[in-house]
Amino acid sequence: DTGVSQNPRHKITKRGQNVTFRCDPISEHNRLYWYRQTLGQGPEFLTYFQNEAQLEKSRLLSDRFSAERPKGSFSTLEIQRTEQGDSAMYLCASSLAQAGAYEQYFGPGTRLTVT
Amino acid sequence: DQQVKQNSPSLSVQEGRISILNCDYTNSMFDYFLWYKKYPAEGPTFLISISSIKDKNEDGRFTVFLNKSAKHLSLHIVPSQPGDSAVYFCAGNSGSARQLTFGSGTQLTVLP
């Protein structure tokens, strides 16, 4: 399977702990996105990488959140000092930067529960 | 400020009939629109898209219509099948990052 993969699929953590999620995009895709989805809502954009450069961050991405894409391949999203409000599904998507085709392909997500 | 709205949280349709899912947007900068389907415990799956320079795009049983003056798009599924039962999200696309702005989704149930 050559789709987007995310690990872990589920994470339960206690408030105040740090967590890190990993995303492996489709191999030839140079754009990578992180979204967050809460119950009853659509995914909300968090941040975007083109190759290894983080080019855009949403105001939703507080100082406790950091994302990296060190070699332009996989990406990690870290949340420090987790809060109960961080409980959500974290989705990663990738796409190929080409004019006129802006489809993004999503991974299965990481479900975070903060207790 | 909800830039993309899906006002119907749910829709039930009989198998074989047409399903019509609606979406309204307010951001005039959107130049590309996409529909995604989502099953429980999975990520969204890309379904069909349309550029703002077109008013219709068709792919098999799925057709998306865009009315720019009304800032409205719709997804038609015909004939509907039980396997189409899922949450459908519409999304607008814009900006240098080409990030997606999603609506809140419509749960489609196709009854056998």
Most confident of the ranges A57-71, A93-107, B54-68: B54-68
Q: Is the pLDDT of residue A1 over 70?
A: no
Res. A89 pLDDT band, cuts 50 70 90: very high
- Supply the pLDDT for residue A99: 67
Given a contact cutoff of 8 angstroms between Cβ atoms, the answer to whether B89 and B8 are in contact is no
- CA B42, CA A6: separation in Å to the nearest integer? 11
Distance CA A52, CA A97 (A): 14
Mutation target for A interface from B99, B101, B104, B106: give the one with most A CBs within 10 A: B99
* pLDDT at position B41: 84
Determine contact: A18 vs chain B, CB below 8 A: no
pLDDT attached to residue B45: 96
What is the percentage of chain A residues whose pLDDT exceeds 70? 97
**Mean pLDDT (whole number) for A33-40:** 95
Q: Which residue of B has its CA nearest to A30?
A: B97
Predicted local distance difference test score (pLDDT) of residue B8: 95
What is the pLDDT averaged over residues A32-57?
94
A83-B45-B16 Cα angle (round to 5): 125
CB-based contact, A74 to chain B, within 8 Å: no
Mean pLDDT split into 10-residue runs, chain B, 112 residues: 91 98 96 95 94 96 97 98 97 89 97 94
Q: What share of chain A is helix, strand, coil (3-state, %, to 5)?
A: 5, 50, 45
Residue A111: is its pLDDT beyond 70?
yes
Chain B residues with CB within 8 Å of chain A CB: 4, 32, 34, 36, 41-46, 49, 51, 89, 91, 93, 95-105
A97: pLDDT strictly greater than 80: no
**A78 touches A66 (CB < 8 A):** yes
Q: Indicate the SS3 state at residue A110.
A: strand
| pLDDT computed for residue A76 by the predictor | 97
